[in-house]
Amino acid sequence: MATTLSAPALSATDRCDRCNAQAYVRVVLPGGTDLLFCGHHWSRHEDALRPQAIEIVDETHRLTEKPAAED
Ligand SMILES: [Zn+2]
């Protein structure tokens, strides 16, 4: 199945580097450093990090999603 891009890349074990809450955003910087952020800290650092990042996995939409009841 070609679902690689939409499959969740972050799990409950991924934690925000700043506050240890569950991470919803992974930012990969040049050199391979990756940072994890919760929704709160991503919103605070997004403007600074987005121009530098080589990859951003943004799953903050999951913060507002209700548990899937429909299929
Ligand atoms: Zn945080």
CB atoms within 10 A of CB 53: 17
Ligand 1 center to residue 42 CA distance, Å?
A: 7
Ligand 1 center to residue 51 CA distance, Å?
A: 20
Ligand 1 center to residue 44 CA distance, Å?
A: 9
Spans of all domains in the chain:
14-59
- Per residue in 32-54, pLDDT (tens digit) is 999 999 999 999 999 999 999 99
- State the pLDDT at residue 70: 56
- Per residue in 9-33, pLDDT (tens digit) is 899 899 999 999 999 999 999 999 9
Ligand 1 center to residue 59 CA distance, Å?
A: 14
Report whether 15 contacts 36 (CB < 8 A): yes
